[in-house]
Structure 1
Amino acid sequence: MAEQAKKATAAKRGRRTDGGQAKEAIQEAAWRLFAENGFDRTSVRQIALAAHVDPMLVTHYFKTKAGLFAAIMRPPVEPSEAIAFVLAEGPDHAGERMAAFILRTLESPDRRKWIVAMVRAATAEPEIAAVVRERFAETILIPLAEAIGSSDPEYRATLVMSQLIGLAMTRYIAAVEPMASRPADEVAADIAETFQRYLTGPLSAG
């Protein structure tokens, strides 16, 4: 009887009682709210409310808000798709195609919202910064540099990431002019040579 009463009370409040469904609902709500509001402006309580669960369930499954963010974070594009596009015309055109691919991705409103949320969160939370490095470098950038056959692929991956994060911060987060309003194809053309150098150019002696 007590268990039935507990379930009835939860149902009246609109809260989910199934563990698997609750966890999935939390992740879906968090994905949407982090993209819309950013990491800092999204609270555990807001996520729980959107997921129709008790806030304690969020901490039960994910420990912290940063832990939840890290759990749902993934690259905004399929790694294989990105690598295939960049290498479609061979290593000598990799920088040009990478710049075009990145700008095309960032100009997509849905993808841009999530990338901006990731960059902002990474600058605020060391735990998230580590996951960003892992997800982007290990799934896309390092395999890309290895496929090209470049020396020191891990270092090259971090060079590319520095350009990507800087671009996101300058153009989309801080909206620094004239970068913010420059046509995307012009920005891509102007940064292509830098990407090419990072991917295939000579490195200083380490």
Structure 2
Amino acid sequence: MTVDRRTPGRRPGGPDTRGEILRAARESFAEKGFAATSLRAVARRAGVDAALVHHYFDGKDELFIEAMAIPVDPRRIAAQIVAGPADEIGRRIATVFLGVWESPDGQQRMKALFRSMMSSDEVARMMREGITQMIIQPVSQVLDVPDAELRVGLVATQLVGAAVVRYLVGLEPVASADVETLIDRLAPVLQQHLTG
């Protein structure tokens, strides 16, 4: 007769433990939002030890990025945007944002993400909270203006509008314009919002 020597408690990692953690994270982000979701709560929901969540993901930001299938790391985007002279930040934002959309994989994933945000209040809320913490706040902190978050928010309206017109609706001539032309046209408008 064999004796089962396993101790009671959380199960160890299995073949799709990472996937189960991501599923649990998506559910938690949807129900509670970014701020109220903790790695321990995700671990409980997935039925694993919290150390296993830390094994797969460096922190809540990374877990959010992977759970939402964001094609690029928003923290890296924020770092690229704030690096350099303040009078060129509009150009850096336009270049980074359109660069994500211009890659075939990035465009496919961004389209899916945008459509999900438009059709689901939960996805929109999760993205709003995550992007606010990982991009809007860091970019706002480098601007020397009292209404920095409003200014960065206005930049977001320009970028979302450009993405919808070019990549989702396909409105000409924006849809077929050279990306460098779009960057040249968008950059001064974004700069005006940020530092004008």
Confirm whether residue 197 of structure 1 aligns to residue 192 of structure 2.
Answer: yes
2:94 to 91, 94, 99: 99
Contact preservation (8 Å) 2:82, 2:89: yes
Contact preservation (8 Å) 2:70, 2:109: no
Match of 2:128 in 1: 133
Alignment of 1:1-206 (within 5 A): 21-22=15-16, 24-25=18-19, 72-73=67-68, 75-201=70-196
Paired with 1:96 and 1:123, the residues of 2 have a C-alpha distance of 27
Deviation at 1:124, TM superposition (A): 0.8
- Structure 2 unaligned blocks of 5 or more: 1-11, 24-44, 47-63
- Structure 1 unaligned blocks of 5 or more: 1-17, 30-59, 62-68, 202-206
Deviations 1:13-55 (A, max 9, x none): xxxxx885445346889xxxxxxxxxxxxxxxxxxxxxxxxxx
Three-state SS of the structure 1 residue aligned to 2:185 is helix
Q: Which amino acid aligns with 1:142?
A: Q
Deviations 1:45-80 (A, max 9, x none): xxxxxxxxxxxxxxx96xxxxxxx998116433334
Deviations 1:94-131 (A, max 9, x none): 00111111111110111221111111111111111111
Paired with 1:104 and 1:161, the residues of 2 have a C-alpha distance of 15
Paired with 2:167 and 2:20, the residues of 1 have a C-alpha distance of 27
Three-state SS of the structure 2 residue aligned to 1:132 is helix
Three-state SS of the structure 2 residue aligned to 1:194 is helix
Match of 1:57 in 2: none
Paired with 1:129 and 1:20, the residues of 2 have a C-alpha distance of 31
**1:124–1:200 distance in 2 versus 1, CA, 3 Å:** same
Percent identity between matched residues is 31
Contact preservation (8 Å) 1:95, 1:195: yes
Paired with 1:70 and 1:88, the residues of 2 have a C-alpha distance of 22
Deviation at 1:133, TM superposition (A): 1.1
Deviation at 1:147, TM superposition (A): 1.6
Superposition TM-score, scaled by structure 1 size? 0.62
Deviation at 1:132, TM superposition (A): 1.5
Q: Which amino acid aligns with 2:191?
A: Q
Deviation at 1:181, TM superposition (A): 0.4
Count, aligned residues: 148
**1:112–1:28 distance in 2 versus 1, CA, 3 Å:** farther
Superposition TM-score, scaled by structure 2 size? 0.64
